[in-house]
Amino acid sequence: MANYVKDRLMHYVVNPLVEESRKGGSRHPSSASVKYQNSHGEVVTAGKCLRQQYYRATDAPAEARTDFGLTMKARAGDVWSDYFAERIKEAGFWIGDEVRFYNEQLNLSGRVDAIVREEGTGNKVGVEFKTVGMFTKKGKIKHSVSDPLAPGEDHVMQCMLYLYHWIPRGIDKSSLVYICRDSFEIGEHIVRLEVGEDGFHYPVISNDMGVIEWKHLRLEDIISRWQELELALDKKEVPERDYELQYSNEKIQALYDTGRLNKTNKAKVDRFLKKNDITSDTPAIEGFGDWQCRFCEFLIHCNKPEVKADDVATDQFEAL
């Protein structure tokens, strides 16, 4: 059946005529990342993959991995952010919205969704709106035993960078507001930036469950990672992968043994264990990996097989 709007609209949403461009060469809060050792003794990455940023900076072949649904989810964030900024204006505690800034010391460009007036003191507070779905809202909006109330590490790093710029300009708190686009529940976390005895900056987060200090996310480590990327670009050396498309069986076993798998994935491993032993020789249990790789536009490029001289069949040389 012919349609007048649907097909053209869906195509345009994914392929807009004008796309937002960013100031080249500078760093952005949304590209922040750190590596740290978690409570299980594993070195993990929080935030953006350095290798992905390297590929983007070097114009490596990218494959569009956005479809209409994913694009609309991303756009929902902008729509709700605009909507709430308007309501804040009506309610009378608005100071500014879509406030762009550039920090020369860090070569950092960013944008704060809104700046509001704190009740009672009149102090300025930065606001960052984030939309989540029924699955990704876990722990961000409501507390549960399996998902304690806490914001996303990547979002907290963004707030830390805003605060580093804005503290000397009179804003020392950043409010991270989560909105569930399916249930319309709202959650809020207040982020402050503290300096430890070691001189490193780390975030302190307050929410309905109390106050938590995240000393594993240090501002200085975020900056070191950007420096690492800049060095890699200078030397033309592709950084190591920060994420994995498919976990090894050892890693899956470790997640299983320490109760870090959700119900569905635990059941999957249980079914596998009924028929097999997990050893390093057993083929990896499929479907366990990092979402960062699944949605990465450089996935194919990152995982392309590297051809070594020994891999080339002798008959190819004989044909020369």
Q: Does 60 bind ligand SF4 (CB under 6 A)?
A: no
Which of 297, 289, 245, 303 has the alpha carbon at shortest distance from 67? 297
C-alpha 178/C-alpha 141 separation (Å) is: 7
Which is closer to ligand SF4, CB of 51 or CB of 189? 51
Q: Which stretch binds ligand SF4 (CB under 6 A): 13-21, 49-57, 189-197, 250-258?
A: 49-57
Q: How far is the CB of 112 from ligand SF4 (least distance, A)?
A: 27
Q: Are 99 and 127 in contact (CB under 8 A)?
A: no
91-110 positions binding ligand SF4, by CB under 6 A: none
Q: How far is the CB of 120 from ligand SF4 (least distance, A)?
A: 44
Which is closer to ligand SF4, CB of 89 or CB of 251? 251
Contact string (CB under 6 A) for ligand SF4, positions 223-242, x = contact? ------------------xx
Q: Which stretch binds ligand SF4 (CB under 6 A): 47-55, 74-82, 123-131, 257-265?
A: 47-55
Q: What DSSP assignment string belongs to 307-320?
A: PPGGGS-HHHHHT-
Residue from 51, 140, 192, 201 touching ligand SF4 (CB under 6 A): that is 51
C-alpha 88/C-alpha 179 separation (Å) is: 15
Strands (E), the chain: 33-37, 43-47, 94-103, 108-117, 124-132, 171-180, 186-195, 201-207, 210-213
What is the amino acid identity at position 45? T
Residue from 243, 247, 256, 288 touching ligand SF4 (CB under 6 A): that is 243
Q: How far is the CB of 156 from ligand SF4 (least distance, A)?
A: 20
Phi-psi region of 84 (alpha: psi -120 to 50; beta: other; left: phi over 0): alpha
Q: How far is the CB of 203 from ligand SF4 (least distance, A)?
A: 24
Phi-psi region of 60 (alpha: psi -120 to 50; beta: other; left: phi over 0): beta
Which is closer to ligand SF4, CB of 1 or CB of 43? 43
Q: Which stretch binds ligand SF4 (CB under 6 A): 44-52, 147-155, 256-264, 269-277?
A: 44-52
C-alpha 201/C-alpha 193 separation (Å) is: 6
251-310 positions binding ligand SF4, by CB under 6 A: 292-293, 296, 298-299, 302
C-alpha 63/C-alpha 293 separation (Å) is: 12
Q: Which stretch binds ligand SF4 (CB under 6 A): 50-58, 79-87, 143-151, 271-279?
A: 50-58
Q: Which stretch binds ligand SF4 (CB under 6 A): 12-20, 48-56, 78-86, 307-315?
A: 48-56
Enter the tokens of residue 132: 């989540």
Enter the tokens of residue 182: 């399916």
* Binding residues vs ligand SF4 (CB under 6 A): 49, 51-52, 55, 241-243, 292-293, 296, 298-299, 302
